[in-house]
Chains A and B, each alone.
Chain A
Amino acid sequence: MAQKTYAGVTVDVNEEGYFTDPSQWTKEIAAEIAKDEGITLTDQHFAIIEFLRNRHLGGEALSIRSINHSGIIDVKTFYQLFPGAPLKKATKIAGIPKPASCI
Chain B
Amino acid sequence: MEQKYPIKKVNIICAKGAIEDVYATLVMGNGAVMEGIETNLFFTFFGLDAIVKSRMDKLHTGVVGNPALRLPGGLRMPTLLGVIPGMEAFTSWMMKKQMGQLDIPPVSEFLDLITAGGGKIYACKLAMDMFKFKKEDLSEHVSGVLTVGEFYEKAGGEGSQIIFT
State yes or no: do A and B come from one complex.
Answer: yes
Contact with B along A7-37 (1 / 0, CB 8 A): 0000000001000000000000000000000
Please tell me if the beta carbons of B105 and A65 are within 8 angstroms of each other in the complex. yes
List residues of chain B with CB within 8 A of the CB of A66. 103
Q: Bound state CA distance, A87 and B36, in angstroms?
A: 10
Complex Cα spacing A87 to B33, Å: 11
Among B90-98, B113-121, B128-136, B148-156, the stretch in contact with A: B113-121
Contacting pair B103 A101 (CB below 8 A)? yes
Query: Is there contact, CB below 8 Å, between B1 and A61?
Result: no
Q: Which residues of A contact B (CB under 8 A)?
A: 16, 61, 63-66, 68, 74-76, 78-79, 83-88, 101-103
* Binary CB contact string for chain B from 100 to 124 against chain A (1 if under 8 A, 0 otherwise): 0011110001001100111000000
Residue of B whose beta carbon sits closest to that of A63: B103
On whether the beta carbons of B102 and A85 are closer than 8 Å, the reply is no
* A84 and B116 within 8 A (CB): no
Chain A proximity of B118: nearest CB distance (Å): 7
Which residues of chain B are within 8 angstroms of A68 by Cβ–Cβ distance?
113
Q: Which residue of chain A has the shortest Cβ distance to B112 in the bound complex?
A: A75
Q: Are B113 and A102 in contact (CB under 8 A)?
A: no
Rounded to whole Å, the gap between the CB of B31 and the closest CB of chain A is 6
Q: Are B27 and A102 in touch, CB under 8 angstroms?
A: yes
Pairwise interchain contact A102-B109, C-beta atoms closer than 8 A:
no
Residues of B within 8 A of A87 (CB): 34
Q: Shortest 9 CB-CB distances between A and B: which pairs?
A: A84-B36, A76-B116, A75-B116, A85-B36, A79-B117, A63-B103, A85-B35, A65-B105, A65-B103
User: Is there an interface contact between B36 and A65, defined as CB atoms closer than 8 Å?
Assistant: no
Question: Distance (Å) between the CB of A75 and the closest chain B CB?
Answer: 4
Contact in complex: A85, B113 (CB < 8 Å) = no
Select one of B31, B112, B118 contacting A102, CB under 8 A: B31
**Seed contacts A64-B30, A66-B103, A103-B105; 15 additional CB < 8 Å A-B pairs:** A16-B1, A64-B34, A65-B103, A65-B105, A65-B109, A75-B113, A76-B116, A76-B117, A78-B116, A79-B116, A83-B36, A85-B34, A86-B34, A102-B31, A103-B104
Query: Contact between A75 and B34 (Cβ–Cβ < 8 Å)?
Result: no
A48 CB to nearest chain B CB (Å): 14
Interface pair A74/B116, CB less than 8 Å apart:
yes
Q: Are A75 and B117 in contact (CB under 8 A)?
A: yes
Nearest-neighbour CB distance to chain A for B94, whole angstroms, equals 19
Instruction: For the complex formed, measure the closest distance between the CB of B2 and the CB atoms of chain A, giving whole angstroms.
Output: 12
Q: Which residue among A65, A66, A102, A103 has the maximum number of chain B CB atoms within 10 Å of its CB?
A: A103
